[in-house]
Structure 1
Amino acid sequence: MKKLLLLWMAAAIILAGCGTEAQPEKKEGEKTAQEQQSGFPVTVKDALDEEVIIEEKPEKIISLIPSNTEIVYALDSGDAIVGVTDFDNYPEEAMSKEKVGGMEFNIEKMISLKPDLVLAPGSTADTAKEGLQQLKDAGIAVVVVNDAQSFEEVYQSIEMIGKAIGEPEKAAELIKTMKNSFAVLKKKAEAIKPEEQKTVFVEVSPEPEIYTAGNHTFINEMLELIGAKNAAGDMEGWPKVDPEAMVERNPDVVVTTYGYYTEKAAEQVLARQGWNNVKAVKDKQVFDVHSDLVTRSGPRLAEGAEELAKAIYPDVFK
């Protein structure tokens, strides 16, 4: 009996060993069951067309532009953020995070925070190239997010960040919500007849250097969505404008996007020398809108479009 038991134990050990050896080797690109469950590792192709491999779900994230920060929070991952810029002000919790710089970033401080992931803006990728390389050399995953200039590009930013932080489903849901909000505004805008459409000048910075939003910007896209004409629609991007040239265009409405941060912005436009015959000034159709909502390429753009709509067509967008 004892001999039989020993033979059985030996057979069990041999079978167990054979079972281990018989397991198929993991092929290149094949994920384990645990990896499939977590969704990691993932490969993200960023705005520089570089493939960034993120091995595990990031637990510490640094965001280098407010729009990316807002996206992370909108995807319910704000607790993972450990560092933001001096300009981050939404949501309120973001203001209490460690500051890593403003126009220039403190690379040493960023490394000291030991982030798993840095979300960098495409708009500064060239000027910050050396600093971003330092982060990569320190073993930190750096994803450069596209400099969104349209609704579609904002959706792409959200998708990219959602994949990078392990929340692709929430990213898809956020995009769906934004699209639905835009669709509601577009439906209301159908009540505006072509002859009733107003020409709008959007002023994104005050005198002495006045800048506006031209074609191929999400502000231009907002105006088109709500049935308004952009007084600078024949210009590209974010051009500097000649005040006298804008007087000649005689817009029906002037909207400032800096009034949230500059006291009495609308009053300054109404009192601007040489503008007294501009229709918007004569009719006192000069309004301030929340800067962050209409100029920040993040999840609150639909709110910004609605604020623009209510300022321009208050009777239609109640």
Structure 2
Amino acid sequence: MVNKDRQISICSLVPAATEILCELNLEDNIIGVSDLCSYPDSIRSKTKISKSRVITEGFTSAEVESEMNRILELGEVPYEVDDEWFKNEKPDLIITQDNCYICEIDVNYVESRIQGFGYDPEVLVIDPKSISDIYDAIKSIAYSTNKTFEGNRLVSRLSERVDTILDLFKDYRATRVISIEGVNPLVLGGYWIPEMYRMLGCDYGVINPGSSALRIGIEDIIRFDPEFVFVDLCSSSLERQITEVRWLFEQPGFMDVSAIQRGNFYILEHEYFSNPGPRFVDGIELIANVLKPFSGSFPKHGGLKLINVPPLAHSIEDYVGLV
């Protein structure tokens, strides 16, 4: 834990950690973030000390996958970090993660560079794999920033919101659902994402509890025959997701899945799902409202529902907003 007698400076390399810090009223303490940190909007003005070498917007998933593999096969990392910034600014606390070394800067990379920074910062690693872990991450960040009381209060507030939704789903009929976080290759969201659905009583049978994200084939979806298909492609805007899901509808048998036949195909804002921070509760509320309307209010810009089956233009014209 950093010295409690002075204001600390923080570099957050994890979008979820950045959101947690802001919820703890520590936004002014943040002096550097990664290019993936975008919430709240005011955080966009912070110095970006890292950026991805792989651009997703304007490229297909297959093209992104190819470029990522090229970089990794060269033994390189898929992001760039401004080492000089660390040498000059010397943040007291660096927050990183140990979940994914591809999407975000991980602890191994940070520790390999610290010696060259010329000082010895505190490094906090968060590694959520479940909803309980998300709460623990909040408490860890709160402890490391002398905000223990505020952290406990935030966890209580989030858990109370979850409990309110769960009370409405006590007798909910098990509904087969899938959450797709990647297409071509086809990837299902793992870790805390299936838990978000299962706690509402959903059958997320394609993936085992506690598993990481899983690559599957279209035949696995057809065999499972979900009644709802949710798409929340990692690091992708709603506009990019609309373009990418075209691949799904081109696959033999996908149009026959129950979810498509019943008009239950949704594209959701990925940050409610891919970032294990406070807004995971917004994600649960969003799912709840789709599965059981009027369970609460939709988060702002929560997502889209397909209204043209099959999509006619593969554009926003095929969808209606959930707000």
TM-score interval (norm. to shorter): 0.7 to 0.9
Q: Deviations over 1:252-276 (max 9, x none)?
A: 1100012635242586266232112
Name the amino acid aligned to 2:195. E
Tell me the CA shift for residue 149 of structure 1.
1.1
Of 243, 254, 261, the match for 2:218: 243
Gaps of 5+ in 2: 52-78, 100-105, 298-323
Of 107, 116, 127, the match for 2:83: 107
Tell me the CA shift for residue 130 of structure 1.
0.7
The verdict on how the C-alpha distance between 1:56 and 1:232 changes in structure 2, with shifts beyond 3 A counting, is farther
Tell me the CA shift for residue 231 of structure 1.
3.5
The verdict on how the C-alpha distance between 1:277 and 1:285 changes in structure 2, with shifts beyond 3 A counting, is same
Tell me the CA shift for residue 205 of structure 1.
1.1
TM-score normalised over the length of structure 2:
0.74
Of 189, 197, 204, the match for 2:174: 197
TM-score normalised over the length of structure 1:
0.75
Q: Deviations over 1:184-232 (max 9, x none)?
A: 111011131xxx32110110012x1111124xx1111111121211142
Mapped contact 1:191–1:316 kept (Cα < 8 A): no
Of 141, 148, 152, the match for 2:132: 152
RMSD: 2.2
| 1:220 alignment partner in structure 2 | 194
Mapped contact 1:188–1:317 kept (Cα < 8 A): no
Task: Tell me how far apart the structure 1 counterparts of residues 222 and 12 of structure 2 sit (CA, whole Å).
Answer: 40
The verdict on how the C-alpha distance between 1:179 and 1:55 changes in structure 2, with shifts beyond 3 A counting, is closer
Mapped contact 1:199–1:230 kept (Cα < 8 A): yes
Task: Tell me how far apart the structure 2 counterparts of residues 295 and 127 of structure 1 sit (CA, whole Å).
Answer: 21
Task: Tell me how far apart the structure 2 counterparts of residues 283 and 308 of structure 1 sit (CA, whole Å).
Answer: 17
- Of all paired residues, the percent bearing the same amino acid is 20
Of 172, 187, 206, the match for 1:211: 187
| 1:118 alignment partner in structure 2 | 94
Q: Deviations over 1:150-188 (max 9, x none)?
A: 111111111111011111100000000011011011101
Mapped contact 1:289–1:308 kept (Cα < 8 A): no
| 1:268 alignment partner in structure 2 | 246
Runs of at least 4 residues off by over 4 Å:
53-58, 315-318
Q: Deviations over 1:131-157 (max 9, x none)?
A: 13444x51322222x210111111111
Of 278, 286, 295, the match for 2:274: 295
| 1:61 alignment partner in structure 2 | 10
Matched, 1:142 2:142: no
Gaps of 5+ in 1: 1-41, 43-52
Mapped contact 1:212–1:238 kept (Cα < 8 A): yes
Task: Tell me how far apart the structure 1 counterparts of residues 295 and 201 of structure 2 sit (CA, whole Å).
Answer: 11
Mapped contact 2:285–2:295 kept (Cα < 8 A): no
Compare CA radii of gyration and give the structure with the larger one: 1
Tell me the CA shift for residue 114 of structure 1.
2.7
Task: Tell me how far apart the structure 1 counterparts of residues 14 and 161 of structure 2 sit (CA, whole Å).
Answer: 24
1:308 is paired with a residue whose SS is helix
1:126 is paired with a residue whose SS is helix
Aligned residues: 259
| 2:19 alignment partner in structure 1 | 70
Mapped contact 1:58–1:117 kept (Cα < 8 A): no
